[in-house]
Structure 1
Amino acid sequence: MAVALVLHLLAAVIWVGGMFFAYILLRPVAAAMFEPPRRLQLWLKLFDRFFRWVWAAVILLPVTGGAMVMRVFGGFGSSPPYIHVMTLVGVIMIVIFCLAFFGHLGKLREAVVTEQWPVGGARLDRIRKLIGINLILGLLVIAVAGGGRYLA
Structure 2
Amino acid sequence: MSDFAAMLSDHAYAIAMALHTLAAVVWVGGMFFAHLILRPVLAERAAAERLAVWRGVFPRFFFWVWISIAVLLATGYSTLLLGFKAGFTGGPGHVDIMQLIGLVMIALYFQLFFGPWQGFKRAFADGDFPKAAGYQVRIRHIVTVNLILGLLSIVVGVAGSLLGA
Is the structural similarity TM-score above 0.5?
yes
Q: Which among 37, 46, 59 is matched to residue 48 of structure 2?
A: 37
The one-letter amino acid paired with 2:61 is: F
Matches of 1:119 and 1:151, distance apart in 2: 49
Which residue of structure 2 lines up, in the alignment, with residue 104 of structure 1?
A: 116
List, as ranges, runs of 4+ consecutive aligned residues in structure 1 with deviation greater than 3 Å. Answer: none
Matches of 2:116 and 2:85, distance apart in 1: 38
Could you state the TM-score of these two structures normalised by the residue count of structure 2?
0.88
**Deviations 1:91-149 (CA, angstroms, capped at 9, x unpaired):** 00000011110011111011111110110010000000000000000000000011013
Could you state the TM-score of these two structures normalised by the residue count of structure 1?
0.95
Q: What is the Cα deviation at residue 71 of structure 1?
A: 1.1
Aligned 8 A contact 2:92 2:164 in 1: no
More helix by share: 1
Q: What's the C-alpha RMSD, in Å, of the aligned pairs?
A: 1.0
The higher relative CO (CA closer than 8 Å, separation ≥ 6) is in 1
Matches of 2:59 and 2:23, distance apart in 1: 17
User: Would you say 1:145 and 2:157 are equivalent positions?
Assistant: yes
Percent sequence identity is: 40
Which residue of structure 1 lines up, in the alignment, with residue 32 of structure 2?
A: 20
Matches of 2:123 and 2:52, distance apart in 1: 10
User: Would you say 1:47 and 2:58 are equivalent positions?
Assistant: yes
Count of matched residue positions in the alignment of Structure 1 and Structure 2 = 150
In the alignment, structure 1 segments of 5+ residues that lack a partner are: none
Pair member with larger Rg: 2
Q: What is the Cα deviation at residue 2 of structure 1?
A: 2.0
**Deviations 1:22-68 (CA, angstroms, capped at 9, x unpaired):** 00011010011x11111111111101000000000111101101122
In the alignment, structure 2 segments of 5+ residues that lack a partner are: 1-12
